[in-house]
């Protein structure tokens, strides 16, 4: 069993093209022996965003703090603390912080995400801001 405050897990910058102002903590993953899926916590700075992309695996998301939106393709849908999001495999999506404080959320992925193909629209290869 692992029991830790999430803040004690080191946060790493998200260096994927198309991401701006994003950090990630891998809270539970294969290194802990987790056989099926990984629990990650993201922190997006004001004005920041995750890549606008799709991939053949799903996300399950719970918003902890802050305000923002998730783009469902081009449709913005609001995010607040307590918002739950399910992103199905191959759905185009992007998380954006539209508020004045960090947007913090949990975002889980199946272990099979490793090595899976990720499609990032061309404009996202050039980070903005």
Q: Please give the residue ranges that form the binding site for a second copy (CB under 8 A).
A: 1-7, 9, 27-28, 32-37, 39, 57-58, 60, 62, 64, 70, 72, 77-80, 82-89, 91, 93, 106, 108, 110, 112
Would you state the structure tokens that stand for residue 51, as one six-digit string? 């890549």
Report d(CA 19, CA 49) in Å as an integer: 6
Report d(CA 84, CA 54) in Å as an integer: 19
Q: Which residue has the tokens 């993953």?
A: 29
Nearer to a second copy, 60 or 127 (CB): 60
Nearer to a second copy, 53 or 127 (CB): 53
Q: Which residues contact 120 (CB under 8 A, 6 or more apart)?
A: 16, 17, 18, 51, 52, 53
Q: Which residue has the tokens 């799903």?
A: 58
Closest distance of CB 126 from a second copy, Å: 25
On whether the CB atoms of residues 41 and 7 are closer than 8 A, the answer is no
Closest distance of CB 124 from a second copy, Å: 18
Nearer to a second copy, 117 or 126 (CB): 117
Nearer to a second copy, 2 or 117 (CB): 2
Closest distance of CB 7 from a second copy, Å: 7
């Amino acid at each position: 069993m692992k029991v830790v405050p999430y803040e004690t897990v080191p946060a790493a910058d998200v260096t994927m093209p198309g991401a701006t102002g994003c950090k990630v903590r891998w809270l539970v993953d294969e290194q802990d022996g987790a056989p099926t899926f990984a629990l990650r916590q993201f922190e997006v700075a004001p004005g920041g965003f995750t890549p606008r992309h799709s991939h053949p695996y799903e996300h399950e998301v719970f918003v902890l703090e802050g305000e923002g939106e998730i783009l469902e393709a081009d449709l913005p849908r609001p995010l607040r603390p307590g918002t739950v999001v399910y992103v199905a495999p191959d759905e185009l999506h992007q998380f954006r912080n539209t508020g004045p404080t960090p947007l913090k959320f949990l975002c889980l992925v199946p272990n099979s995400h490793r090595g899976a193909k990720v499609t990032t629209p061309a404009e996202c290869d050039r980070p903005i801001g």
